A and B are shown apart, each in its own frame.
Chain A
Amino acid sequence: MSELLEIVIISLWISGTALLLSLLWSIPIALTLGLRRFRGRGTLISFFNAMLGIPTVALGLILYLILSRGGPLGILGLLYTPTAIIIGQAILITPIIVSLLTSAIEAVDPEIMNLARTLGASERQASLAVLGEARKGGILAGVAAFNRAVSELGIALMLGGGIAGWTRVMSTEIQRATGAGEFLLSIQLAAVLLTIVFALTFLMNLLRRD
């Protein structure tokens, strides 16, 4: 397998897993924030909005200190593994999914939920009805989150270490190859990365148009 292809596959695999993992908690959080009214809800929404712009190097550093052998979770030995990058990226993109999905749910006509309720839907069925309406927002959230994960550098570098064939992803390899003067490889990888991001965005627009 060529070096380039291997890096691209590892990249997509790591960031794809991060996206799926993040959905496991992001969807329930967004549903709760979007559908329920409780004390502290506004603060929580503001918190997730504020976290949208969290610098990846800061998150990378915090997780490095936690996952490092000298840190509280050091015993797991996760530093410099794909798992560490996946955890970091999943946390990084949580605010993106939560914020976009919450506002998509909020934007849905509240009448739908009421209608569903008056027609005898359970609370859960009604929630799901709203989420169905919010699916365009959901697609946007997923694509934006994946693009952020696959493009970020700080977490992959600090938690992955850029080990060849293991944690070497597109962003870390562009950084390394540029520093080492291997511009051809940098440019190729940058082109692949841009193509992936643009293609996903294009696909998303197609899906949302219906």
Chain B
Amino acid sequence: MLITVLGEWGLNKVVGIMLIAAICSFASLAYIETLRRTEDKLMVATTTSLYDTGLLDVIADRYRAKYGTNLYFIPLGSGQSLEHAKRGDADAVLVHSPSLENQFLQENAGGARKIIAYNFFAIVGPGDDPTNIENLSPLAALQRIAQVKATWVSRGDNSGTHMKEKNLWQEAGFDPTELRNDWYLESSSGMGRTLSIANEQRAYTLADMGTYLKFHRNNLIDLEVLVSQGKELLNVYSVMAVNPSAHPYLNFNDAVRFIEFLVSSEGQNIIDEFGRSEFGRPLFYPAVELLRENTDPQLVSWIRDYAFFENSECPPRYRLGQEELYE
């Protein structure tokens, strides 16, 4: 009697639990896997400065409406995005670090590069500006900060903004690897968190305009823009397809279509309009027409100096056969 009861309890409950667990988990996994195989999608590794402003959500919606393809953006920062792409974990990259992009092209990890947008970085700091850097040139401002040892928060995460910051320190005559000390802090985190840290510490930092405006407008920080003029602060965003020859399963055709969409007048208009109603000014400026028509020669020459390689946004040998992008 006892045995029967125990045995039945076991069969009904334990084996039952295992069976339900097996059926449910396999059904769930099968569902995900079917979705995954059938869904049209494009993986794009990207920089947090684009992602956190919400621009990419707008682009994803419009792109899905037009082509039925889901854009999956993975926010990693420029350095990490390019590393992921080299491993074949993304179909395209959307980044803002010309020196790293050049290296990426030279390693043949990707190509078909197009410059899509630009804006300017800003050196931001406490509103009362205790170090008096306001309206100095960017390099002079950094020199003054280092001289009086005013607290500086560095991203320290190999993002595009961090690369820019390191270049600026170098041009100002400092070795960024030797700077880390009691007044030079490394946050090792994204732009938003870095701004929060700078805000708490009454410190200075280099910020991309998009994230800064979003935080400032929502009263999350009371840091002010102190230096925002100068060629050195130029910030250029570009898109590249990952080279499918190393990773044949990559969705190269969709990556090219995504690039075409971004440089089309529709894509450029999305960039131009984004943020106008919310922030009263655009966060990013479209670059395609500017470069093609040379409407602002000084600005174009800055972009060429900063973000062109061998006098081209993408030297012919890295175009992956997509010559029509450069006509």
Chain A contact residues, CB within 8 Å of chain B: 13, 16-17, 20-21, 23-24, 27, 68-71, 74, 77, 79-83, 86, 115-116, 119-121, 124-129, 131-132, 135, 161-166, 176, 178-181, 183
* A135, B16: Cα distance in complex, Å: 14
Residues of chain B within 8 A (CB-CB) of A17 are 24-25, 28-29
Chain B residues whose CB sits within 8 angstroms of the CB of A81 once the complex forms: 32, 36
Are the CB atoms of A80 and B247 closer together than 8 Å? Answer: no
Q: Residue B87 contacts which of A68, A82, A180 (CB distance < 8 angstroms)?
A: A68
Within 147-171 of B, Cβ neighbours of A (below 8 Å) are at: none
In the complex, which residues of chain B have a beta carbon less than 8 angstroms from the beta carbon of A128?
6-7, 9-11, 14-15
Instruction: For A87, give the chain B residue with the smallest CB separation.
Output: B29
| B65 CB–A CB distance under 8 Å | no
Residue of B9, B24, B52 touching A20 (CB-CB under 8 A): B24
A180 to B87, CA, bound (A): 27
With both chains docked as a complex, state the minimum distance between the C-beta of A153 and any C-beta of chain B, in angstroms.
14
Beyond the given A79-B89, A81-B36, A128-B10, could you list 8 further A-B residue pairs with CB under 8 A, ordered by the A residue number?
A: A17-B24, A23-B21, A70-B89, A116-B6, A132-B10, A164-B57, A180-B52, A183-B220
CA distance A29 to B11 in the complex (A): 18
A60 to B72, CA, bound (A): 20
Residues on the B chain within 8 Å of A77, using CB: 249
Query: Would you give the 0/1 interface string for B1-41, flagging 1 where the beta carbon is closer than 8 Å to chain A?
Result: 01100110111011101101110110011001100100000
* Chain B residues, CB < 8 A from A23: 17-18, 21
A121 with B192: in contact, given A24-B25, A79-B89, A128-B11 (CB under 8 Å)? no
With A69-B89, A181-B215 known to touch, is A121 a contact of B7 (CB < 8 Å)? yes
Contact indicator per residue, chain B 304-321, by CB within 8 Å of chain A (1) or not (0) = 000000000000000000
Q: Are B14 and A181 in contact (CB under 8 A)?
A: no
- Asked whether any CB of chain A lies closer than 8 Å to the CB of B88, the reply is yes
* Contact partner, A181, options B6, B25, B51, B218, Cβ 8 Å: B218
Are the C-beta atoms of B3 and A179 separated by less than 8 Å? no
Task: Tell me, in angstroms, the Cα distance from A21 to B22 when the chains sit together.
Answer: 7
Q: Are the C-beta atoms of A116 and B72 separated by less than 8 Å?
A: no
Instruction: Report if B143 contacts A (CB, 8 A).
Output: no
Q: Is the interface of A mostly helix, strand, loop or mixed?
A: helix
Which listed residue (B10, B28, B33, B215) contacts A125, Cβ 8 A?
B10
What is the bound-complex CA distance between A119 and B57, given in angstroms?
Answer: 67
Q: Kindly state whether residue B190 has any CB partner on chain A within 8 Å.
A: yes
Could you show 9 A-B contacts with beta carbons less than 8 Å apart? A17-B25, A69-B89, A80-B72, A83-B33, A83-B36, A163-B74, A164-B73, A180-B51, A180-B211
Q: Which residue of A has the minimal Cβ distance to B194?
A: A179
The answer on a CB contact under 8 Å between A116 and B3 is yes
Q: Which 10 A-B pairs have the closest CB atoms?
A: A128-B10, A69-B88, A70-B87, A129-B6, A20-B25, A180-B52, A20-B21, A161-B74, A21-B25, A17-B28
B residues 34-88 near A (Cβ < 8 Å) are 36, 43, 48, 51-52, 57, 60, 70, 72-75, 84, 86-88
Contact B75 A80 (CB under 8 A): no
For window 267-306 of B, CB contacts with A under 8 Å fall at none
B137 at the interface (CB under 8 A from A): no
Q: Find A179's partner among B11, B48, B86 (CB 8 Å cutoff).
A: B48
Q: Which residues of A contact B192 (CB under 8 A)?
A: 178-181
Distance, CA A74 to CA B248, complexed state (A): 12
Report the bound CA distance from A68 to B72 in whole Å.
16
Task: Tell yes or no: B180 within 8 A of A by CB.
Answer: no
Q: Which residues of B contact A70 (CB under 8 A)?
A: 86-89
A70 to B25, CA, bound (A): 28
Q: Which residue of A lies closest to B43 (CB)?
A: A80
A116 touching B89 in the complex, CB below 8 Å, given contacts A17-B28, A132-B10: no
